[in-house]
Copies of this chain bind each other. A is one copy, B any other.
Amino acid sequence: MPDQSTIAVDAMGGDEGLAVMLAGVAQAAGRHAGMRFILVGDELRVAEGLKKHPSLLAHAEVVHAPQVVGASDKPSQAIRRARTTSMGIAIDLVKKGRAGAAVSSGNTGAMMAMAKLSLRMLPGIDRPALAAPLPTLGANDVVMLDLGANTEVDARNLVQFAVMGAAYARIIFDLESPRVALLNIGSEDQKGTDVIRDAAQALRDATLPMTFTGFVEGDKLARGDHDVIVCDGFAGNIALKTAEGTARFVADLLKRAFTSSLRSKFGFLVSRPATRLLRDHLDPNNHNGAVFLGLNGIVVKSHGGASANGVATAIGNAAKMVRADLIRRIADDLGDFSKPDIGAAA
């Protein structure tokens, strides 16, 4: 049984590194009373960094890691240094039961490879998928997966992603039968690739605790019509990043529009409380923390460019998953689910 109140944090990962990670942990400690942290990284540098967060000392211990996984390290390189890097050691603390979850802002490919090797897959799952809830206009967010762990998939992988995504949505949104759709370039049955059409057929034929809603196009992701959207990691990554980039693009244009005249500047100042709420709603730091589903343990990927607030959000999400007993519940769902026969699967 893992220590449910402890989160292992790779203190060295992310574009900004140590300072932002520690500031994030300090924010999370302030938000969640009773939570404990294991900070994994260069002992001396972490101790130095902790001087800025003296209140954290009561809630955190430090585990030394002599090395760091680089942003452009290949997964195969990273695996060879699993026992000496901050990322590898943080994941290993989950395996050993010393932490309920590991959180890192580092290299996604390396994290997936290390987590797969150390924690192993749940029975019946071939590959992990990176999943995260995204904002919508509806009553709840939408879980999207895979967001970049698997660039190429077969129909069987997509079906497994659907089952894992539905289990995750049932837990975080408290739904009986989540509405699950496949991302595609059209809503008609004949649209898309063979892989997508085969996965759709399998999902239509299977009896699962989900409602399969067919295909969804890129312009309808945020409408709140679905609870889970399933795709390969290439399409998922393109969609997620295009959505982020477009939201920022519109915000930039809006800023230009509002500062284009004295009159519009005045109007903006008057409306500021409302636009501030909107900014908070769209800020990726308020939606940070994607989880690798399918592993025998909780590993959460924080955005490389996350702020301290973003890191704290990711840690909070990891803690929620631990409390909800995510892994056991997904494993139960997978046990209930008899794999459909997918002709086209490799």
From the candidates B148, B193, B269, B277, name the one contacting A267 in the complex (CB within 8 A).
B269
User: Smallest Cβ distance from A208 to chain B, in angstroms?
Assistant: 25
Q: Which of A27-63 contact B (CB under 8 A)?
A: none
Q: Which of A269-287 contact B (CB under 8 A)?
A: 269-275, 277-278, 281-282
From the candidates B148, B152, B188, B278, name the one contacting A254 in the complex (CB within 8 A).
B278
From the candidates B72, B190, B242, B275, name the one contacting A246 in the complex (CB within 8 A).
B242
Cβ-closest chain B residue relative to A71:
B188
Contact A281 B253 (CB under 8 A): yes
From the candidates B239, B248, B271, B278, name the one contacting A271 in the complex (CB within 8 A).
B271
Name the B residues within 8 Å of A270 (CB-CB). 263-264, 266-267, 270
From the candidates B71, B238, B253, name the one contacting A278 in the complex (CB within 8 A).
B253
Contact A151 B238 (CB under 8 A): no
Contact A274 B253 (CB under 8 A): no
- B-facing mask of A175-198, CB < 8 A → 1, else 0? 000000001010010101100000
- Known contacts A151-B185, A245-B219, A250-B282; decide if A260 and B238 are in contact (CB<8 Å): no
- Known contacts A234-B193, A245-B220, A263-B270; decide if A250 and B251 are in contact (CB<8 Å): yes
User: Smallest Cβ distance from A243 to chain B, in angstroms?
Assistant: 5
From the candidates B136, B190, B238, B266, name the one contacting A185 in the complex (CB within 8 A).
B238
Is A172 at the interface (CB under 8 A from chain B)?
no
Is A16 at the interface (CB under 8 A from chain B)?
no
Contact A218 B237 (CB under 8 A): yes
Contact A274 B264 (CB under 8 A): yes
Name the B residues within 8 Å of A258 (CB-CB). 271, 274
Is A233 at the interface (CB under 8 A from chain B)?
yes
Most buried by B among A74, A250, A269: A250
Is A119 at the interface (CB under 8 A from chain B)?
no
Contact B247 A151 (CB under 8 A): no
With the chains together, A238 CA to B223 CA distance in Å? 15
Name the B residues within 8 Å of A264 (CB-CB). 270-271, 273-275
With the chains together, A183 CA to B234 CA distance in Å? 10
With the chains together, A136 CA to B253 CA distance in Å? 10
Name the B residues within 8 Å of A74 (CB-CB). 190
Name the B residues within 8 Å of A272 (CB-CB). 267
With the chains together, A238 CA to B247 CA distance in Å? 16
From the candidates B220, B238, B252, name the one contacting A137 in the complex (CB within 8 A).
B252
With the chains together, A237 CA to B187 CA distance in Å? 13
From the candidates B223, B242, B248, B254, name the one contacting A242 in the complex (CB within 8 A).
B242
- Known contacts A137-B249, A239-B242, A263-B274; 9 additional CB pairs below 8 A are A151-B185, A151-B193, A183-B238, A185-B234, A242-B243, A243-B245, A257-B274, A267-B269, A267-B270
Can you pick out 19 interface pairs between chain A and chain B where the beta carbons lie within 8 Å of each other? Answer: A74-B190, A137-B249, A137-B253, A185-B233, A192-B234, A218-B239, A218-B244, A218-B245, A221-B242, A242-B246, A243-B243, A243-B246, A246-B250, A257-B278, A260-B277, A264-B271, A267-B269, A268-B271, A271-B271
